[in-house]
Amino acid sequence: MQGSINGTSNEPKIPSTVKPSERLIERLNIDYLVLGFLALLELITFGPFVKQIGFYLDDWLMLNTLHFGPQDLLGAFSNYFISDPKVIIRPIEVLHFGAAYFLFGNRPLGYHLLNGVFEIACAALLYFAIKRFSRSRLLAFLTAFAYVSYPIRDSTHYWILCSSVSLSLAFYLTSFIYSLKGAQEKKWKFYALSAVPFLISIYNYEVFMPLAGVSAVAVFLFTFRTEKWVPSLKASVISFLPLFLSGCSLFVYQRFIVPKLGVGYLHMLKVDPQQILHVISSGAILSSPFNAVPFFQSQVALHMTEPFTVVKSLALLLLLALGAALTYLITRREQNQNSLTVRNGLELGAIGLVAIITSLSIFGLNKEYEPTLMTLVNRIFTGAAFGWSCIFAGVFAGLLVAAKNILGQVKVEKVAIPVLSLLVGLVGVYFTVTNWQLAQPWIASWRAQNGIYFLMKKQKGIHKSPDTIILTDCPRYVMWSPVFDGIWDFQSMTRLALEDPKIKAGVVSERLEMGSNEMKDMSMGYTCATYPYERLFVFVPDIKQLLPVENGKQFVDIIEKHGEQTRLASGTLAKWRVQLSDSANRSEGK
């Protein structure tokens, strides 16, 4: 085309064929919209309860150690590192919880807000990782959306020590992005850099170590798009080596260095292929939507027994509208660019499958971690949630491509995309309501703990070491959420309430074994605590009294009268009386 000397053209302008709605999509910065939506999703799903949840189980032990330890930063970190057998094997936890304690002290709100930040970071990093791998904003968005919402790991949202799970996953995903960047740019330095966040991840919480396999498979699939088998496999192996060496360093640290530093709590590992396969298969089945949806439905039904407030209803409508609208915008954009293929979905599904298998495999090394949806152990499903989220997104891609092939472009835009987008929004609402109900046991537990803590504070100055206080007539759990279960939580709470770092405390449970002068809290052959009858008091919250105990028989009689809510197993009181009788006979025999 020729123009005039001044640069203007006299030829007629061709009208743009781009529709106004498509120009709007192009102008919008989709990444910012996605990140904003993911933050809002976290807020709507878990934000309503952040002031109603608190400390659970080992959270109290962490507070106790830091509260009564040195109050300078270096001294606190050193004491926490040496004093807690579960922390010395995971040194990054010292920085995490030590710093959090100096920021938030004995108030739970700050810890839960921090965990919320970690979870949003995980969602954002997952979005960018999958976008880089799949080259699809749609698949990345759907994966991150599903990961935040899929309700199979409530313990990671509400148990403060489980914030280590989210923090470790965030560092793993950073490592994952570096591995993909190495494959994309064909630069080995990024594979080496991927080891740095991976090291931080596993030295904070080792459970994501097997996800090194996910990174290696992703690099292979990414490279195989443009290369042949051999160079793709070579890139995969090279990307895996720094992560493998990082894992080896953790093994050396935990098995050989920790014993020279102090006492570390390590699980007995046993490589039993049958047990590993059992955990992988049962975990994959339990966490799958085919098995989990009936459980979700029961939770939704429970939540629906009470009418929704106006605020809850508006929150769900907002989530539905924004989730569906954003899915529609991104899907239309990718349809316009013809960037979504069946291969995208299959590759992402493969990554999801590998994530499920590898993340569960590590728990097959110990029989303490049987997969379950309804106990604290459901934290083991965090990696599975990542995997299933990838599979959900891959299925969506398959449905969209199939609809295009069957219906054609026009009907896909007018029918399939709106319907699928609405479905995504509805599923998000369904998962959110499920998560709301899953929060209720944690709320009830914290309410009970708060009441007991308030009553115990009134005993400050009245009871002190060497007194022993045993809690009765209080359930140890509200469904799967712990109230007070043993010395790890009740003793730590009692010491904080009474400002006494040496007083003994425990709870009534089937673990107790009676002797003539003392009773023991025994778990799987291990003595958790010993409680002499001298200066022993039974705390009954309902009557707001601490009843003195002089001997084992009197203790059992008190529990018989004030132990209904403890819900002891049938025959426990009779077993204790037999133990007392046997102990008395042995004493007389001497």
Rounded CA separation 79/64 (Å): 12
- The single-letter DSSP state of residue 480 is T
Q: How would you write 534-585 as a 3-class SS string? A: CCEEEEEHHHCEEEEECCHHHHHHHHHHCCHHHCCCCCHHHHHHHHHHHHHH
State how beta strands 526-532 and 518-523 pair.
antiparallel
* Residue in the structure block whose two tokens are 């904080």: 496
Rounded CA separation 556/230 (Å): 71
> Quick one: 410 exposed, middle or buried, by C-beta within 10 A (0-12, 13-18, 19+)?
exposed
Residue from 389, 391, 420, 390 nearest 403 by CA? 420
Rounded CA separation 26/21 (Å): 9
Helix (H, G, I), strand (E, B) or coil at 499: coil
Rounded CA separation 255/260 (Å): 10
> Quick one: 59 exposed, middle or buried, by C-beta within 10 A (0-12, 13-18, 19+)?
buried
What pLDDT score was predicted for residue 565?
A: 85
The amino acid occupying position 395 is V
Residue from 31, 49, 51 nearest 39 by CA? 31
Residue 526 CB neighbour total at 10 angstroms = 8
- The single-letter DSSP state of residue 467 is -
Residue pair 55/162 in contact by the 8 Å Cβ criterion: no
What pLDDT score was predicted for residue 324?
A: 96
Q: What is the pTM of this model?
A: 0.90
Stated as kind and residue range, the H or E segment containing 123 is helix 108-134
What pLDDT score was predicted for residue 2?
A: 38
**Helix, strand, coil content of the chain in percent (nearest 5):** 70, 5, 25
Q: What phi, psi does 514 have (nearest 5°)?
A: -90, 140
Q: Give per-residue pLDDT as tens, 436-488.
A: 999 999 999 999 999 999 999 999 989 998 999 999 989 898 888 899 998 98
Report the DSSP beta bridge partners of residue 321. none
CA distances from 440 to 113, 437, 445, 523, 559 (A): 18, 5, 9, 29, 28
Q: Give per-residue pLDDT as tens, 172-205.
A: 999 999 999 999 998 889 999 999 999 999 999 9
Stated as kind and residue range, the H or E segment containing 98 is helix 92-104
Residue from 150, 395, 144, 438 nearest 293 by CA? 150
Rounded CA separation 320/333 (Å): 20
Residue pair 218/135 in contact by the 8 Å Cβ criterion: no
Rounded CA separation 470/556 (Å): 12
- The upper half-sphere exposure of residue 65, i.e. CA atoms within 13 Å in the direction of its Cβ, equals 23
Rounded CA separation 489/332 (Å): 52
Torsion of the alpha carbons at 496, 499, 500 and 506, rounded to the nearest 10: -30
Q: Give per-residue pLDDT as tens, 265-289.
A: 777 777 888 889 999 999 999 999 9
- The single-letter DSSP state of residue 306 is S
Tell me how far apart the terminal alpha carbons of the chain are, to the nearest angstrom. Answer: 115
Residue 3 CB neighbour total at 10 angstroms = 10
Q: Could you read off the pLDDT tens digit of each residue along the chain, which spans 590 residues? A: 334 334 344 444 444 444 555 555 555 588 999 999 999 999 999 999 999 999 999 999 999 999 999 999 999 999 999 998 899 999 999 999 999 999 999 999 999 999 999 999 999 999 999 999 999 999 999 999 999 999 999 999 999 999 999 999 999 999 999 999 999 998 889 999 999 999 999 999 999 999 999 999 999 999 999 999 999 999 999 999 999 999 999 999 999 999 999 887 777 777 888 889 999 999 999 999 999 999 999 999 999 888 889 999 999 999 999 999 999 999 988 887 767 788 889 999 999 999 999 999 998 887 777 888 877 788 889 999 999 999 999 999 998 888 888 877 778 788 888 999 999 999 999 999 999 999 999 999 999 999 999 999 999 989 998 999 999 989 898 888 899 998 989 999 999 999 999 999 999 999 999 998 999 999 877 888 999 999 999 999 999 999 999 999 999 999 999 988 888 888 999 999 999 988 888 766 65
